[in-house]
Amino acid sequence: MQSALYVSLSAQVALEKRLETIANNLANMKTTGFRADAVKFEAAMSRAATQPVAFASSGENFISRKPGGVTRTQNSLDVAIVGNSWMSFNGPAGRVYTRDGRMQIAGNGELQTATGYPVLDAGGMPIILDPEGGPPTITRNGTIAQGPNQVGVLGLYDIPASARLERFGNSGVIPDRAASPVIDFLQTGFQQGFVEDSNVDSMSELTQLMTASRAFQSVSSLIDGSESTMQNAIRSLGEPTKG
């Protein structure tokens, strides 16, 4: 009986984590460049009881790399990334990668993200434009020109598929393995005047939210029933025998 209760509690913890993840994804449906979180669950085996018992793990979050749709903005400082590569900027504690291609030019000419961090080139250096040089032109391979002058090259990077991604802000990630600069732009590149939308599938997330909510309620009812059965058993066993 206790094993059933503990299994139910482990399922409740796992479902609560899933509900939190879905809620965060839905809250970022309109966040440019956002990559949804998903949860991976595994069964944990225990042999403390007479028979092996499988418990649900609390779950491990991972960031989906599925691309989002693109929206045309016609802003010369906006870029969407074709393919599965990433832009890079210099964050407070080092390099961060993002799919959010909204940029701005600071007063000193530095090319920055929409949140004010320096955008980096393929060598990991900040990019300086001419504040008075007019709207830039950005080609597929990231070359930036103002008029006839080439003024920089946007860096584009590949993150290993095996890398674990830590979230930075809403649209940035920090991998645990080094990313490498893209040198072949046949399958990937920049698309000026567009931005990538969030990759959250709203209908799928809402369906999962309803399913997880119902499962959570069912497990809660099961736990309440198990506790009631246990209390009744304790009361029954504790009653004195009548001689």
3-state secondary structure the chain: CHHHHHHHHHHHHHHHHHHHHHHHHHHCCCCCCCCCEEEECCEEEECCCCCCEEEECCCEEEECCCCCCEEECCCCCEEEEECCCEEEEEECCEEEEECCCEEEECCCCEEEECCCCEEECCCCCECECCCCCCCCEECCCCEEEECCEEEEECCCEECCCCCCEEEECCCEEEECCCCEECCCCCCCEEEECEEECCCCCHHHHHHHHHHHHHHHHHHHHHHHHHHHHHHHHHHHHHCCCCC
User: pLDDT, tens digit, for every residue of 79-130?
Assistant: 999 999 999 999 999 999 999 999 999 999 999 999 999 999 989 999 999 9
What sign for the dihedral angle of Cα 104, 105, 107, 113? positive
Distance CA 101, CA 88 (A): 10
The predicted structure's pLDDT at residue 38: 83
Task: Kindly report which listed range (21-30, 135-144, 226-235) carries the lowest average pLDDT score.
Answer: 226-235
pLDDT at 232 over 80: no
CA angle in degrees (0–180, nearest 5) for 148-188-193: 50
- Enumerate the domain spans of the chain: 2-64+202-238, 70-196
Q: With beta carbons less than 8 A apart as the criterion, state whether 79 and 191 touch.
A: yes
Task: Kindly report which listed range (29-43, 101-115, 228-242) carries the lowest average pLDDT score.
Answer: 228-242
Highest mean pLDDT among 68-82, 193-207, 216-230: 68-82
First to last CA, the chain: 30
User: pLDDT, tens digit, for every residue of 48-69?
Assistant: 445 554 545 556 778 999 999 9
Q: With beta carbons less than 8 A apart as the criterion, state whether 199 and 170 touch.
A: no
Q: What's CA 91's distance to the chain center, in Å? A: 17
Other beta carbons less than 10 A from residue 77's beta carbon? 19
- Mean pLDDT of the residues in the chain: 83
The predicted structure's pLDDT at residue 190: 98
Q: With beta carbons less than 8 A apart as the criterion, state whether 142 and 156 touch.
A: yes
Token digits of residue 143: 């070359």
Asked whether the whole model's pTM tops 0.85, one would answer no
What sign for the dihedral angle of Cα 186, 33, 30, 164? positive
pLDDT at 235 over 90: no
Token digits of residue 235: 């009361």
pLDDT at 233 over 60: no
